[in-house]
């Protein structure tokens, strides 16, 4: 058994004692030489934040100077209790400045207290460092001696609005205390909510001194309202009372959503379990403090020290306000040291020294060192317990938050938020911690419900005479019925909650309509009706006053016109596929192409020569035969072939389009509208009908239609069509497609739907702007319109045939117009003109000698004479062409071509009997003709000799040439 040596235990203890004594003696010696700096502390000493804050300040300074024993300044604290009172805080600050000559003040606790203390600090040049007063309104004081070393309340409003947006809540009610602290953040919160399309229909203000009954009264008022999302911004003590009352009356149940600001969320760990249980399910925005070893160590040391100084049954929990107090004291100690001052003192106000009748405020001195302390604080940067500690323009820069879900143990983190990324976690995403909402449910609150004690909705509907199938007053005189109301009833029945409502006709006491559809919309806008149901079209100008649901009918405005059978015009139906301008253009191009081909072929192609009438007929015959590709005349010129190939392409497309259009007219459409284009209306301006009270009137005016007549019922529209424009009726009408379909169903085969079709958004239900019903009703509209229930409603009111009858009746103009083919005509015309230019250039180049010969003939050298000579030359054959280069003799009408261009024809005559040769005529004679018609320069005798010799050699069968005639004509 080993017996411990007492000396072995005593010696180390003695060494530790001597080391500690040496350190204490050295520190004491240094403290004695250090310059004391008086600093005041103004806090609510009886509150949790006051006790915790003072303890953290004291520990911060103690540990700071222990780590920096060489500093020559030491802060000496002068704590004062504000007594939770604005006047008490001001009195404490005044006493510290006047009697203790403090050069800085840490505190006060609340924003209301800070408001006056800041003025004192500015007057005495004493920096005021608050770590709890967070109201944005304090920044409006613009005091250079005020430092907010806590987060500004306005920094969290964007985080709250992003939270509202993530759950698609559209209405939010802020609940805040009625003082400067509560009012200061509200404008920033409302702006942030509006930026995510969330409205604030009501503001709930709670007096800080309100009794429990007064709080309950306000909460009961909130229960009667539709919104179920509340943002609570008040001091923790008042927030605790609010939630206790809300839980008591049933407002912490399923369907409610509560959001806490950081002033309450930051101290959740310090609240009683009973208060936390009443808050269970609420979301909160909490200041994010990164974990660190230094922070963990400080929490342990602080908890041990606090329990020694403040014996309490519950284990204390350090929150961010205590950490801000710690870092604020450290920042002040660093600033005081960095000033480099060796003496800290006050100077009296010189303007007050000679006056003996002064108040305490007027006798305040001015700190000679406060300005330097302020300047150093503005540049302070260090690593604190709360993270990177930066002071910019008197504000602590720290804007990161975490989203917590309140439970019985405090707050459970469910997400983060920062200015750059927003919400870094989607709270509904799988893999993250689920949010438990009030009522112990994971179902996300809708954000609003229909209040149990709320009034019944007043739904207005138009009282109209015509088209009663859509909406009308019931026969018993109460309520409404029709297609639109049946759809609305089906939609409201699909909502996950009950919404009581009554139909109220928009009519005078005698039952007549009280105004147009726009007037009905304005009644909803003014709050007389809670909504409007009926055949109300969604148009832009109405959406400025109400919110519409998704449409539940087909959209658009179309034209309806009487029909005419083809039996009246069948003899001329072949003309209908093409418009008049296209017919005229096509005819002109056929003639033009015939002329171009004649120009190019006349000199070199025998088929395009002869008498003028023959040439004109041949050219037109050739051109029009290209329609059926049956032309028989051969082309010699390459230019003509080039033009005709391109013209073939144009004709092919034109004929194929004509055939398709005619086929469509003969086989598809059995009825033809009397008017097929709105341009006919704009050109002729006949009378046009529109439904009385409809927005279609303004639409037609904007289009340019001037002569308009209203109608009320389908029967009246039918009578107006029968009368026609000339007898006080109309020739066409415009209406919305649902009305047109119903009209065509009632009067089949008499009328038809035609173009144009103007775009609208169909019929919709109208509610006041911002109504939470709009989103849910729109979703229900989609479910109803896609279900079989919609078909049953249509069959009930329209017999189930309205859609099928009208859908096949809509027609458009099938006639082909010039606009569809002008590109083809442009190509063909350009090719023809180019060919003519090339041919003209070649012709003039070859016939230059003609112009010179004309110039040498005499003095008659006029331009007209030259043109006449060229035309005469053009009318002659081009013997240089390959078609005329070889001389040709033709039996029966023999032709000899002379070298000078003249031709000689010979007619054989023979008296001999028939022979096996090709000639059967015995008496043969030859006549010679010059094709130009001029006298031949060749001697007649010589020419007869040539012809005789040639003919004898050619005949060779015993025939005798009896006559030779040389004609130059």
Q: How many helices (H) and strands (E) does the chain have?
A: 29, 35
Token output for 671: 């009825």
* Strand ranges inside 773-931, DSSP E: 894-897, 903-906, 925-929
Look at residues 538, 534, 632, 648 and name the one whose alpha carbon lies nearest to residue 590.
Answer: 648
Tell me, rounded to whole angstroms, the distance of Cα 758 from its chain centroid: 21
Contact by Cβ (8 Å): 549, 767: yes
Q: Strands across the sheet with 401-407, in order?
A: 204-206, 173-177, 229-233, 257-260, 283-287, 401-407, 410-418, 422-423
Token output for 256: 């409610």
Contact by Cβ (8 Å): 554, 762: yes
Contact by Cβ (8 Å): 725, 687: yes
> What pLDDT, on the 0 to 100 scale, is given for residue 961?
44
CA gap 550, 766 in Å, rounded: 10
The residue written with tokens 């189930």 in the block is 800
Q: Is the dihedral of CA 644, 650, 656, 658 positive or negative?
A: negative
Sequence-distant (≥ 6) Cβ neighbours of residue 20 within 8 angstroms: none
Token output for 573: 């139906």
**How many other CB atoms are found less than 10 A from the CB of residue 882?**
9
Q: Is the dihedral of CA 131, 136, 138, 142 positive or negative?
A: positive
Contact by Cβ (8 Å): 364, 347: no
Task: Give CA separation, 744 vs 128, 734, 747, 807, in Å.
Answer: 82, 13, 5, 10
DSSP 3-state assignment of 318? coil
Tell me, rounded to whole angstroms, the distance of Cα 948 from its chain centroid: 98
Bridge partners, residue 709, by sequence: 689
CA gap 496, 498 in Å, rounded: 7
CA gap 204, 202 in Å, rounded: 7
The answer to whether the peptide bond before residue 765 is cis (omega within 30 degrees of 0) is: no
Contact by Cβ (8 Å): 526, 503: no
Tell me, rounded to whole angstroms, the distance of Cα 401 from its chain centroid: 32
Token output for 291: 């974990």
Q: How many residues does the chain have?
A: 969
152 burial type by CB count under 10 A (0-12 exposed, 13-18 middle, 19+ buried): buried
DSSP 3-state assignment of 568? helix
The residue written with tokens 């939470």 in the block is 772
DSSP 3-state assignment of 569? coil
Instruction: Report pTM.
Output: 0.60
Consecutive sets of 10 residues in the chain, 969 residues long: mean pLDDT of each?
A: 38 40 45 86 93 96 95 96 92 94 95 91 95 88 90 93 92 93 93 92 94 94 91 95 95 95 93 93 95 94 91 86 96 95 84 54 85 94 93 87 91 90 66 81 87 77 84 84 92 85 90 87 92 90 92 85 62 79 89 87 80 82 77 78 88 87 68 67 85 84 86 88 86 86 82 77 89 88 89 80 45 68 89 89 79 60 73 77 56 41 42 38 39 41 45 44 42
DSSP 3-state assignment of 261? coil
Contact by Cβ (8 Å): 501, 749: no
Look at residues 694, 798, 741 and name the one whose alpha carbon lies nearest to residue 558.
Answer: 741
Token output for 13: 């203890």
The phi, psi pair for 766, rounded to 5°, reads -110, 140
């Amino acid at each position: 058994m080993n017996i411990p040596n007492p000396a072995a235990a005593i010696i180390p203890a003695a060494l530790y004692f001597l080391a500690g004594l040496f350190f204490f003696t050295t520190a004491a010696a240094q403290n004695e030489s250090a310059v004391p700096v008086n600093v005041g502390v103004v806090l609510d000493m009886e509150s949790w934040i006051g006790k915790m804050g003072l303890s953290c300040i004291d520990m911060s300074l103690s540990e700071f100077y222990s780590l920096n024993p060489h500093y020559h300044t030491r802060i000496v604290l002068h704590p004062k209790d504000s007594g939770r009172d604005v006047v008490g805080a001001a009195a404490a600050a005044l006493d510290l400045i006047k009697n203790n000559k403090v050069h800085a003040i840490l505190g006060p606790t609340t924003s209301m207290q800070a408001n006056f203390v800041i003025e004192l600090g500015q007057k005495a040049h004493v920096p005021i460092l608050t770590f709890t007063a967070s109201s944005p309104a304090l920044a409006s004081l613009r005091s250079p001696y005020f430092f907010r070393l806590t987060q500004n309340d306005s920094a969290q409003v964007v985080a709250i609005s992003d939270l509202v947006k993530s759950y698609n809540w559209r209405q939010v009610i802020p609940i805040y205390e009625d003082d400067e602290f509560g009012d200061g953040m509200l404008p920033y919160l409302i702006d942030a909510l509006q930026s995510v399309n969330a409205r604030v229909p009501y503001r709930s203000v709670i007096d800080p001194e309100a009794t429990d009954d007064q709080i309950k009264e306000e909460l009961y008022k909130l229960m009667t309202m539709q919104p179920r999302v509340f943002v609570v911004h008040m001091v923790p003590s008042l927030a605790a009372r609010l939630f206790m009352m809300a839980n008591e009356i049933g407002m912490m149940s399923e369907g409610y959503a509560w959001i806490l600001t950081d002033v309450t969320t930051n101290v959740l760990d310090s609240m009683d379990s009973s208060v936390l249980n009443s808050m269970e399910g609420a979301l909160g925005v909490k200041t994010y403090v990164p974990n660190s070893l230094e922070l963990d160590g400080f929490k342990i040391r602080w908890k041990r020290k606090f329990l020694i100084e403040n014996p309490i049954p519950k284990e204390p929990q350090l929150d961010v306000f205590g950490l801000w107090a710690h870092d604020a004291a450290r920042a002040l100690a660093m600033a005081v040291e960095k000033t480099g001052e060796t003496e800290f003192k006050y100077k009296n106000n010189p303007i007050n020294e000679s006056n003996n009748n002064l108040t305490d405020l007027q006798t305040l001195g001015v700190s000679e060192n406060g300005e330097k302390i302020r300047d150093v604080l503005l540049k302070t940067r260090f690593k604190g317990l709360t993270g990177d500690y930066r002071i910019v323009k008197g504000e602590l820069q720290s804007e990161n938050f975490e989203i917590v879900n309140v439970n019985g143990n405090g707050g459970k983190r469910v997400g983060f938020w920062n200015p750059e990324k927003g919400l870094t976690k989607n709270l509904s995403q799988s893999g993250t911690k689920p949010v438990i909402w009030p009522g112990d449910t994971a179902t996300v609150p809708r954000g609003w419900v229909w209040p149990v004690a709320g009034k019944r909705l007043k739904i207005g509907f138009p009282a109209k005479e015509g088209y009663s199938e859509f909406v009308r007053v019931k026969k018993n005189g109460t309520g409404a019925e029709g297609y639109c109301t049946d759809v609305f009833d089906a939609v409201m029945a699909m909502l996950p909650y009950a919404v009581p409502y009554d139909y109220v006709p928009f009519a005078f006491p005698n039952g007549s309509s009280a105004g147009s559809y726009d007037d009905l919309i304005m009644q909803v806008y003014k709050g007389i009706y809670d909504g409007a149901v009926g055949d109300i079209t969604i148009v832009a100008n109405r959406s400025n006053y109400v919110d519409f649901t998704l449409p539940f009918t087909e959209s658009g405005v179309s034209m309806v016109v009487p029909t005419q059978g083809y039996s009246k015009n069948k003899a001329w139906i072949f003309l209908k596929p093409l418009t008049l301008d296209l017919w005229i253009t096509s005819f002109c191009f056929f003639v033009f192409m015939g002329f171009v081909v004649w120009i190019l072929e006349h000199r070199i192609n025998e088929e395009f020569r002869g008498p003028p009438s023959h040439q004109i007929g041949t050219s037109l015959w050739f051109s029009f035969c290209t329609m059926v590709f049956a032309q028989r005349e051969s082309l010699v010129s390459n230019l003509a072939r080039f033009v005709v190939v391109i013209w073939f392409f144009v004709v092919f497309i034109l004929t194929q389009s004509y055939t398709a259009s005619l086929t469509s007219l003969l086989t598809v459409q059995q009825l033809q509208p009397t008017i097929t284009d709105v341009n006919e209306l704009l050109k002729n301006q006949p009378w046009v009908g529109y439904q009385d009270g409809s927005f279609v009137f303004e639409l037609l005016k904007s289009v340019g239609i001037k002569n308009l007549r209203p109608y009320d019922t389908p029967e009246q529209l039918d009578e107006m069509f029968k009368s026609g424009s000339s007898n006080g009726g109309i020739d066409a009408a415009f209406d919305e497609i649902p009305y047109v379909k119903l009209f065509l169903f009632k009067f089949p085969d008499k009328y038809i739907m035609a173009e144009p079709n103007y775009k609208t958004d169909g019929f919709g239900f109208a509610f006041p702007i911002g109504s939470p019903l709009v989103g849910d009703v729109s979703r229900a509209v989609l479910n109803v319109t896609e279900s079989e229930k919609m078909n049953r409603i249509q069959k009930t009111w329209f017999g189930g045939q309205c859609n099928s009858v009208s859908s096949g009746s809509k027609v458009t103009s099938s006639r082909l117009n010039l606009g569809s083919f002008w590109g083809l005509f442009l190509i063909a015309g350009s090719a023809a003109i180019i060919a003519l230019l090339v041919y003209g250039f070649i012709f003039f180049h070859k016939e230059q000698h003609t112009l010179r010969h004309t110039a040498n003939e005499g003095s008659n050298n006029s331009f007209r004479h030259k043109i006449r000579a060229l035309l005469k030359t053009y009318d002659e054959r081009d013997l240089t062409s390959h078609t005329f280069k070889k001389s040709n003799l033709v039996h029966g009408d023999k032709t000899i071509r002379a070298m000078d261009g003249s031709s000689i024809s010979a007619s054989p005559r023979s008296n001999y009997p028939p022979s096996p040769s090709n000639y059967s005529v015995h008496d043969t004679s030859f006549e010679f003709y010059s094709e130009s018609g001029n006298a031949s320069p060749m001697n007649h005798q010589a020419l007869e000799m040539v012809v005789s010799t040639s003919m004898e050699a050619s005949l060779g069968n015993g025939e005798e040439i009896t006559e030779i005639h040389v004609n130059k004509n």
